[in-house]
Amino acid sequence: MNNEEAMKTYPEKGILLLDLARYHIMTVQRDEKLKDIGLPLAEEAINRYLDSEPILLLKAYALGCLANIKSGMGDNKGAEELIEKAKAIDPYFSEAFGVPPLILFAEPDEISHYHAYFLRPF
């Protein structure tokens, strides 16, 4: 099963695209020569995540990540526009590198069977 088939089969796991984007960003941080490969791949992963129409707070986070990528690619104007879009959605959006877990966005009266683990490859 390739990643396209997996995304169609498990659309609720789309948040993992943000982890994939983080992976590509981290490869660029380790080796600056991979910038022309890694940043476009990270941008593609985030755009695919945004196409899935995530909840607004995670959309703001993803736009913030995309702004960092644009800035790394030298597109400071595009980065500023994305930051403004993110702030319009959520003025306090997370600027942390880690993806906020979905449990943070559960309704107060909702019982959530959320399981997280730290065995990520990055």
CB 102 within 8 A of CB 113: no
Q: What is the DSSP letter of 109?
A: T
Q: How confident is the model at residue 112 (pLDDT cuts 50, 70, 90)?
A: confident
For 6-15, 64-73, 89-98, which range has the lowest pLDDT when averaged over its residues?
6-15
> Mean pLDDT score of the chain, rounded to an integer?
89
State the amino acid at position 23 in one-letter form. Answer: Y
30 lies in some domain: yes
Q: What is the pLDDT of residue 90?
A: 95
CB 17 within 8 A of CB 45: yes
79 lies in some domain: yes
Q: What is the pLDDT of residue 40?
A: 97
Q: What is the CATH number of the domain that holds 87?
A: 1.25.40
49 lies in some domain: yes
19 lies in some domain: yes
Whole-structure pTM value: 0.85
Structural domain of 21: 10-97
If one counts the domains in the chain, the total is: 1
2 lies in some domain: no
Chain segment 33-80, per-residue pLDDT in tens = 999 999 999 999 999 999 999 999 999 999 999 999 999 999 999 999
112 lies in some domain: no
110 lies in some domain: no
75 lies in some domain: yes
Q: Please give the full DSSP string across the chain, using - where no structure is assigned.
A: --HHHHHHH-GGGTTHHHHHHHHHHHHHHH-GGGHHHHHHHHHHHHHHHHHT---HHHHHHHHHHHHHHHHHTT-HHHHHHHHHHHHHH-TT---SSSPPPGGGGS-TT--------S----
